[in-house]
Amino acid sequence: MRKLLVTGGAGFIGSNFVHHVLSHTDDHVTVLDKLTYAGNRASLDGLPEDRLRFVQGDIADAELVDGLFAESDAVVHYAAESHNDNSLNDPRPFLDTNIVGTYTLLEAARRHGIRFHHISTDEVYGDLELDDPARFSETTPYNPSSPYSSTKAGSDLLVRAWVRSFGVRATISNCSNNYGPYQHVEKFIPRQITNVIRGIRPKLYGAGENVRDWIHADDHSSAVLTILDRGEIGETYLIGADGEKDNKSVVELILELMGEPRDAYDHVTDRAGHDMRYAIDSTKLRRELGWEPRFRDFESGLAAAIDWYRTNEAWWAPSKDGVEAFYASKGQ
């Protein structure tokens, strides 16, 4: 029986991983989460209480972190400020959590000699042209565009340095865009679904040609558990499920699945520095660790997510008006 510490376990992907671990292993999980605007304790409701402990706190709190590392066998680090649009508005929390917070965890991992898995993003590689046949791989040079992605890139480089200089037993994964239940309504897909539910027209940044490589959050979780169990220390693994789609097609599909005309959306002010295209080549993870995604049909995964937002309005409604007021103030 392993004792796992999961940072950011009340967020979208972290909570998915906690659900996944508790249903696929005998592990006991401690979640460390600050419960920022993005964290929601209710995302962990219904899980077995004898195998899950929740600690509210900051990953940059060295004393708290040290005590929790002393009681754990391994750490999976999801906690982050995660939204590009927020990072353009106020970068400071991104530096505090993504850089200083990760540093604080690495120092504790070093002191306690503990296995550490760092969750990161494909955005550290910058973006690709629409007609570029290339996809990101583990050897693509870092070239982040936004305050968010540059702080994630910085956190990845800290992990690599702590592996090489101090022998920390860490792995890193960089995943593409996730979708599924429990995602905050600030993000693209939940924003458009909940807009339609509320009778608001979906909002597409710029021309909507930008491409994201979508993966279901359940597939991200199974990949992370695979890397935690079988990944080689010091290695980086890219996680992706061959799900490239342009934003315009995604909005049109959401409208169609929700019974609305496919063109019932607005074009709004584009994001500053908007990355054009992300695309992941996950050959290394598949070949070396034998991982495969289960959700290969985006349309049915999206339909299930739409059902979830329809039946779980109490989960997202408290955030919706504030998020839309923030976007409206920026013409988005």
Catalytic residues: 122-123, 148
Instruction: State the binding partner of 101 from ligand NAD, ligand TDX, none, CB within 5 to 8 A by kind.
Output: ligand NAD
Beta-bridged to residue 216, according to DSSP, are 179
Q: Is 191 in the site for ligand TDX (CB under 6 A)?
A: yes
Burial pattern 154-173, b for ≥16 Cβ within 10 A else e, equals bbbebbeebbeeeebbbbbb
Q: Least distance from C-beta 38 to ligand NAD, angstroms?
A: 3
Instruction: State the binding partner of 33 from ligand NAD, ligand TDX, none, CB within 5 to 8 A by kind.
Output: ligand NAD
Return the residue of 51, 160, 169, 271 that touches ligand TDX, per CB under 6 A. 271
> What is the 3-state secondary structure of 178-217?
EECCCCCCCCHHHHHHHHHHHCCCCEEECCCCCEEECEEH
Q: Is 71 helix (H, G, I), strand (E, B) or coil?
A: coil
Residue 98 phi/psi, 5° resolution?
-75, -35
Instruction: State the binding partner of 12 from ligand TDX, ligand NAD, none, CB within 5 to 8 A by kind.
Output: ligand NAD
Return the number of the residue (200 or 304) whose C-beta is nearest ligand TDX. Answer: 200
Q: Is 123 in the site for ligand TDX (CB under 6 A)?
A: yes
Q: Is 83 in the site for ligand TDX (CB under 6 A)?
A: yes
Q: Is 82 in the site for ligand TDX (CB under 6 A)?
A: yes
Instruction: Tabulate helix, strand, coil % of the chain (nearest 5).
Output: 45, 15, 35
The string of DSSP codes covering 239-262 is: E--S-EEEHHHHHHHHHHHTTS-T
Q: Least distance from C-beta 276 to ligand NAD, angstroms?
A: 17
- C-alpha 239/C-alpha 173 separation (Å) is 7
Residue 145 phi/psi, 5° resolution?
-105, -35
Q: How many CB atoms lie within 10 A of CB 232?
A: 11
Return the number of the residue (72 or 178) whose C-beta is nearest ligand TDX. Answer: 178
Q: Least distance from C-beta 105 to ligand TDX, angstroms?
A: 18
Structure tokens at 41: 């304790």
Return the residue of 7, 102, 104, 247 that touches ligand TDX, per CB under 6 A. 247
- C-alpha 11/C-alpha 201 separation (Å) is 26
Instruction: State the binding partner of 254 from ligand NAD, ligand TDX, none, CB within 5 to 8 A by kind.
Output: none
The residues binding ligand NAD (CB under 6 A) are 7-8, 10-14, 32-36, 38-39, 58-60, 78-82, 97, 101, 119, 121, 152, 175, 177-178, 184
Return the residue of 7, 84, 171, 194 that touches ligand TDX, per CB under 6 A. 84
